[in-house]
Structure 1
Amino acid sequence: MVRFIEMAPDAPVAHGLLTEYFAARAEVFPGGGYRPTYPDPSVFVAPDGVFLVIEDEGAAAGARRPVGCGGIRRIPDGPAGVRYEVKHLYLDPSTRGRGWGRLLLDELERRARTWGAAQLVLDTHHTLEAAGGLYASAGFEPIAPYNDNPNATRWYGKALG
């Protein structure tokens, strides 16, 4: 069982999860050139965005444990209208395979729809094969690059209709 908590990305728990994520990416990034950028908390304030921490409610002795994070932020509108970008979707490796990444992505999509989004977009790196599989299974399709993120090699979009 999981629950989502809205939190600023610079809050200690969220910052710790982002630090884990960035360290894991840097460790395996081709050529050692990964450049982490901690997000600006001001872009994750509703209705222009939200940052969520996912907690494992099934931890021993009723203790809750933060196990992942992710957010959406509004970016300039695209041809279809209002766009939100998925950022920093991360789950602790010990939790993978439970479907929690999909739950988190679905919750972010739900919130984007609530705020009138016509499209969700994201960028990723081709070495993140599991992430690419998650995005494809959630209905994301390859799109032309919409930014110049030096850590990205693939860009995806999903029409929300």
Structure 2
Amino acid sequence: MEPVHTEPVSTEQVAAFRRFNRYFTRRIGALDDHYLGQDRPLGEARLLFEIGDGVSLRELRSRLGLDAGYLSRMAKALEAQGMVRVTVHPDDNRLRMVALTPAGQVELKEQQRRANALVAHLLGGLTDTQRADLTEAMTTTRRLLRLAAITVDLVDGASADARACLDAYADDIDERFPEGFDKSDLVRADEVSGDAGAFFVAYEEDRPVGCGALRRLGPGVGEIRHVWVHPDARRLGLARRILDALEREGRRRGFDVVRLDTHATLSEAQAMYRACGYTEIARYDDNVYASHWFEKRLG
């Protein structure tokens, strides 16, 4: 796994994070066995919310990051209370489904009412400007926490996750390029594996959400290819994280410079490359999709 920062985290930053966490969990009642004044702790209340119109226990495990045994015990407890109904999927007897009963739907509706009232009460003590500031701060906090939790890992260029990311990348740009995109122009696995190059995949909770490739062009020269982020993970700063991982790998391999090209329609990519220290250069390849070429010296 690639490190996500280049400088150590200070003790003050750790203390501030933990201090905020203690305050927030206490303020919203997360420590109370009767969350929002109802007869259950936060864990069970959250599970009712996530079940919604019905879902598989497998999906809940993935969505909430819960241990299978712990989730099963909570589901059984809610079933015993008449809040949920656990069944077997009609087309797959290995898959257990869980849905709210009418009683569970009533409780969830009341839970939502109380949660909204709690938030309205908290925000009621602030001015409109302060509420806007708080909302913006929470949005930034969520974005940065998501980014912090994503890992950018070196994988084999022939791995299933690498090829799945490249397929998604190709489908994405095929829609954006006026002339379309031919998947045969994707890098080959042997070009981005072993001594020839490297392939990185970004993971959010074990789900691939981005990628980037590095291949050797010549002595001391590398080329960055196919930097891509899933639409659900965009505007987090993840593309820069992937680019940074590729540059560090280039330095490790002894490259003095890395180059890349991009399409005329990808204006956001061009802006990112310039902001990250890349300078535009003359054409260096015969890529039919490229209209801008960049390079960066690796200090």
Matches within 5 A, 1:62-141: 64-77=206-219, 82-141=220-279
Normalization by structure 1: what TM-score? 0.87
1:15 aligns with 2:163: yes
How far is 1:33 from its partner?
4.1
How many Å separate the matches in 1 of 2:288 and 2:182?
Answer: 8
| Larger Rg over CA atoms | 2
Give structure 2 stretches of 5+ with no counterpart: 1-148
Alpha-carbon contact 2:157-2:190 (below 8 Å) kept? no
1:28 aligns with 2:176: yes
How many Å separate the matches in 1 of 2:167 and 2:196?
Answer: 24
How far is 1:69 from its partner?
0.6
Determine which of 53, 74, 85 is the counterpart of 2:201. Answer: 53
RMSD over equivalenced CA pairs, Å:
1.4
Larger relative strand fraction: 1
Alpha-carbon contact 1:4-1:52 (below 8 Å) kept? yes
Q: Percent identity?
A: 34
Determine which of 284, 287, 293 is the counterpart of 1:149. Answer: 287
Larger relative helix fraction: 2
Alpha-carbon contact 1:142-1:157 (below 8 Å) kept? yes
**Amino acid in the other structure paired with 1:12:** A
How far is 1:6 from its partner?
2.1
How many Å separate the matches in 1 of 2:156 and 2:194?
Answer: 11
Matches within 5 A, 1:32-47: 32-36=179-183, 37-47=185-195
**Amino acid in the other structure paired with 1:145:** R
1:158: which partner in 2?
Answer: 296
Task: Indicate the SS of the match to 2:218.
Answer: strand
How many Å separate the matches in 1 of 2:180 and 2:192?
Answer: 27
1:61: which partner in 2?
Answer: none
How many Å separate the matches in 1 of 2:197 and 2:241?
Answer: 18
How many Å separate the matches in 2 of 1:16 and 1:43?
Answer: 17
**Amino acid in the other structure paired with 1:35:** D
How many Å separate the matches in 1 of 2:265 and 2:273?
Answer: 14
How many Å separate the matches in 2 of 1:28 and 1:109?
Answer: 26
How many Å separate the matches in 2 of 1:33 and 1:129?
Answer: 17
How many Å separate the matches in 1 of 2:190 and 2:201?
Answer: 17
Task: Indicate the SS of the match to 1:111.
Answer: helix
How far is 1:131 from its partner?
0.9
Alpha-carbon contact 1:124-1:151 (below 8 Å) kept? yes
- Structure with the bigger RCO (C-alpha within 8 Å, sep 6+) is 1
1:60: which partner in 2?
Answer: none
Q: Deviation per CA, 1:17-68, whole angstroms, max 9, x where unpaired?
A: 11111111111212x34233232211222443110111013xxxxxx21101
2:117: which partner in 1?
Answer: none
**Amino acid in the other structure paired with 1:20:** A
How far is 1:118 from its partner?
0.7
How many Å separate the matches in 1 of 2:275 and 2:263?
Answer: 17
How many Å separate the matches in 2 of 1:17 and 1:111?
Answer: 19
Task: Indicate the SS of the match to 2:182.
Answer: coil
How many Å separate the matches in 2 of 1:132 and 1:21?
Answer: 17
